[in-house]
Chains A and B, each alone.
Chain A
Amino acid sequence: MNSTGTLKSSSSELDLDRPNIEDYLPSGAAIQQEPRGKLRLHDLLDISPTLSEAAGAIVDDSFTRCFKSNPPEPWNWNIYLFPLWCFGVFLRYLIIFPTRALVLTIGWIIFLSAFIPVHLLLKGHDKLRRNIERSLVEMMCGFFVASWTGVVKYHGPRPSRRPKQVFVANHTSMIDFIILEQMTAFAVIMQKHPGWVGLLQSTILESVGCIWFNRSEAKDREIVARKLRDHVQGTDNNPLLIFPEGTCVNNHYTVMFKKGAFELGCTVCPIAIKYNKIFVDAFWNSRKQSFTTHLLQLMTSWAVVCDVWYLEPQNLKPGETPIEFAERVRDIISTRAGLKMVPWDGYLKYSRPSPKHRERKQQNFAESVLRRLEEK
């Protein structure tokens, strides 16, 4: 299905074709059977189901759970293990960390001394320049991964460069991109960040082909959709990597995938990433720490262990809407990586849910009352 129409940029687009949240919410919400019988005062006054739902949400809700970073259990709690742990801290901070910082610096020097000349001198020979830059970026990402002693196990066939395909993956931290990039130079679509990350984005990532978006701009979506479509049509562009969740999730859950990647009319290749929390929790809780702090935390831990699965490419099935396609791919990724699916839009981190959900509940209530009024 080739969608040639433009995406509506109004916020209603977000809700109109979302799958029904009630289908996903815990059974408690669905247990209220359709009340029957003539309407009595008792039925109007009894607001207990609604109150229970509200209190249930206060006590625990599946959305906040997605962004909770669980602190690891302290294991250094006795006289034998504590000195061992102290020794470990000494090793990590005073020996390993400086070594890693050194490795990273060397990597940057090599990279920049090769990248800048190539970028400036080979301006005419685009294809050659692009190939070299690609390998350089892959190498630089390799240095990054080495600087946290990343132990990455790749499963599945390595992505091939073909037009009309996009790669989608679940998102836990910005290092997802680096881990995938060291294997294959992807082009990526990212939120423009401030600070040194932004600088990196505008200089080096431009060379592999990146698309910027701005979450807060509503009109932005149309422009971005067009850029995406142009990119996948091009034969010489790097394969495009998209994180359809739109935000970092704590690697135990997946939030709803945005349908943008699934309506480009091309094959979608899912990638599942699962981090092992044995040494460090790789979830970047952007509310709690800056990316720099997060990187430092990684660099002072023993290792970052993760599995990456390149899964079977999927196509839109006949009669399937992009949203259903997105959910199907999300299911594939979540199953592979052992993640639970929740029905929330990741952007609810930054904004309130639309009134449509509340309105649906109100509509159900009103219809039920009016219907029962007629009954004898």
Chain B
Amino acid sequence: MGSASSMLTQYDIEEVQEHCNHLFSQQEIVCLYQRFCQLDRNAKGFISSDEFLSIPEFVMNPLSQRLLKMVDGLNFKDFVAFLSAFSTKASAHQKIELIFKVYDSDRNGKVSFKDILEVLKDLSGSYMSDEQREEVLGQVLKEAGYSKDCYLTLDDFTKVLGHSGVKMDVEVPVD
């Protein structure tokens, strides 16, 4: 399904659905496609950073730059696969996996103290000093039984976040 045409065939929809493990209904995929075409102004087949940044609500989000790196230049199939973690049908594990990926920016499968600090910096901006962030993080890590030099893996994340569940759902508005 190379370049984005404005018509999705049934075959295309099924292919995309397969790729996202059936986490979106066919109708939702059609709606996502309309949204994709709306954002992809010159029908290049992917949405560029600039086009994402034309959504004011997205720009306002503290984690927008991190998400942008993950979502920039994706074609429609991968775009849907990325968003599938936010589907109501997605499992907690899939959601935790996405959260892990956001932290693990260098994709080495482990999240270091520094990685978490980076995300904290995005979230708190200039309202916390670096020392404050280190202190807070060090303290909660210690209480949870990890040291500052520990690397957290996906299993650790699952252990920490899995208890109370992760609520990360986005509804696709179906016209």
Contacts and interface: CB of A to CB of B under 8 A. Distances in A.
Interface of A: 21, 25, 39-64, 68, 287, 344, 348, 352-353, 357-359, 361-363, 365-367, 369-370, 373
A58 B71 contact: yes
Given A39-B140, A54-B64, A61-B55, A47 B102 contact: yes
Contacts of B168: 48-49, 51-52, 55
* Residue of A59, A344, A352 with most chain B CB atoms under a 10 A cut-off: A59
Nearest to B58: A57
A287 B39 CA distance: 13
A52 B86 contact: yes
Majority secondary structure of chain B interface residues (helix, strand, loop or mixed): helix
B152 to A, nearest CB: 8
Given A53-B61, A366-B125, A42 B52 contact: no
Interface string B48-73: 00001111111111111001000100
19 contacts: A40-B143, A51-B63, A51-B168, A52-B170, A54-B61, A54-B64, A55-B86, A58-B52, A58-B58, A58-B71, A59-B170, A59-B173, A61-B57, A63-B55, A348-B56, A352-B59, A365-B124, A366-B124, A366-B125
A135 B172 CA distance: 53
B57 A370 contact: no
A61 B99 CA distance: 22
B141 interface: yes
A39 B137 CA distance: 10
A360 to B, nearest CB: 9
Contacts of A51: 63, 67, 86, 98-99, 102, 168
Interface residues of B, number: 58
Given A60-B173, A365-B123, A370-B136, 11 more contacts: A39-B140, A47-B119, A48-B166, A53-B61, A54-B58, A54-B61, A59-B35, A61-B56, A361-B62, A373-B136, A373-B139
A60 to B, nearest CB: 5
Majority secondary structure of chain A interface residues (helix, strand, loop or mixed): helix
* Residue of B63, B126, B173 with most chain A CB atoms under a 10 A cut-off: B63
A21 B56 CA distance: 11
Contacts of B173: 59-60
A42 B163 contact: yes
B55 A58 contact: yes
A68 B168 CA distance: 28
Nearest to A21: B60
A287 B41 CA distance: 10
B83 A46 contact: no
A51 B116 CA distance: 15
B127 A54 contact: no
B7 interface: no
B95 interface: yes
Contacts of B124: 362, 365-366, 369
Contact of B137 (A44, A68, A359): A44
B38 interface: yes
A57 B68 CA distance: 12
Contact of A363 (B55, B125, B137, B141): B125
The 5 lowest CB-CB distance pairs between A and B, nearest first, are A362-B125, A366-B127, A57-B57, A48-B168, A41-B144
A45 B157 contact: yes
Contacts of A53: 57, 61
A287 B125 CA distance: 34
Nearest to B169: A52
B120 interface: yes
A42 B119 CA distance: 14
